[in-house]
């Protein structure tokens, strides 16, 4: 497949995994650290995470991909459950010759990261969960915000995004409209069908019964003004995951981008810390 180049010298190309085209981007590191795999939110393409990738230490190799139905990855024939997505990720890593990675998941991608760490513990060295929760059994967000994400309209209509971003995402987005513009300029909807497939794939899923079985050192990052996923969910995960740390930042649901410098520093420190016994 033809390749392209994003900023930070990341090579972007499309590979085929079990018949599914996946658009991926890999920013090379210096080979001294475990590669970091990023899993994005619902309907969001890999470019949205670019500010965070740019803020990470150059030594870290970073792998991103568009989930089927988002960005440059076409929608699958049928909706995938998180277990199927996790298996696809494992097969993607096989095809790219990665034996083990650190995993960071944000929002919807945080649920996928939990599933992957649980199903493939040997493939996940450390786990980072950002602005996410435990699925069906979690403290719900504000109804007005949740209602607005039931459709991908915010990605299709810039005016709608500008008018509603603060209510949906909270944090710095409320008072800095230029951040909304930057996000809207970067976000690219793959397809409405792929968006709905992602939503359907998470119906009924929960990590509550097995979070206590996770053995990876885990860092939980959560904003104190998140209308979609209230902070209480991060505290619940912190109580349930044995080897976890909680870091609360002053921002909202899009904090990984709007507070990229702060959170990249926290993540770098976590990934480079000595391994616990």
Cα–Cα distance, 139 to 64 (Å, whole number):
29
Is 207 an annotated catalytic residue?
Answer: no
The active-site residue out of 83, 95, 107, 144 is 107
Three-state SS annotation for the chain: CCEEEEHHHEEEEEEEECCEEEEEEEECCCCCCCCEEEECCCCCCHHHHHHHHHHCCCCCCEEEECCCCCCCCCCCCCCCCHHHHHHHHHHHHHHCCCCCEEEEEECHHHHHHHHHHHHCCCCEEEEEEECCCCECCCCCCCHHHHHHCCCCHHHHCHHHHHHHHHHHHCHHHHCCHHHHHHHHHHCCCCCHHHHHHHHHHCCCCECCCCHHHCCCCEEEEEECCCCCCCHHHHHHHHHHCCCEEEEEECCCCCHHHHCHHHHHHHHHHHHHCCCCC
Active site residues: 107
């Amino acid at each position: 497949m033809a390749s392209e180049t994003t900023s930070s010298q990341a090579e972007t190309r499309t590979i085929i995994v079990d018949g599914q085209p996946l658009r991926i981007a890999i920013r090379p590191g210096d080979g001294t650290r475990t590669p970091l795999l990023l899993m994005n939110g619902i309907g969001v393409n890999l470019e949205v995470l670019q500010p965070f990738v740019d803020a990470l230490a150059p030594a870290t190799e970073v792998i991103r991909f568009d989930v089927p139905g988002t960005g440059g990855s076409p929608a699958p024939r049928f909706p995938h459950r998180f277990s199927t997505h996790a298996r696809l990720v494992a097969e993607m890593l096989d095809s790219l010759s990665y034996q083990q990675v650190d995993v960071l998941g944000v929002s919807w991608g945080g649920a996928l990261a939990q599933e992957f760490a649980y199903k493939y513990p040997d493939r996940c060295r450390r786990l980072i969960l950002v602005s996410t929760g435990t699925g069906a059994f979690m403290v719900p967000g504000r109804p007005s915000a949740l209602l607005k994400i039931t459709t991908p309209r915010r990605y299709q209509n810039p005016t709608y995004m500008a008018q509603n971003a603060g209510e949906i995402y909270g944090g710095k987005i409320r008072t800095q409209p230029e951040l909304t513009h930057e996000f809207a300029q970067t976000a690219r909807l793959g397809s409405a069908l792929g968006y709905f497939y992602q939503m359907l794939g998470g119906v009924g899923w929960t990590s509550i019964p097995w979070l206590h079985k996770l053995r990876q050192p885990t860092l939980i990052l959560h904003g104190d003004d998140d209308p979609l996923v209230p902070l209480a969910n991060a505290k619940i995960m912190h109580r349930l995951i044995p080897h976890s740390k909680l870091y609360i930042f002053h921002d909202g649901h899009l904090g990984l981008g709007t507070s990229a410098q702060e959170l990249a520093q926290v993540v770098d420190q976590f990934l480079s810390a000595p391994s616990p016994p």
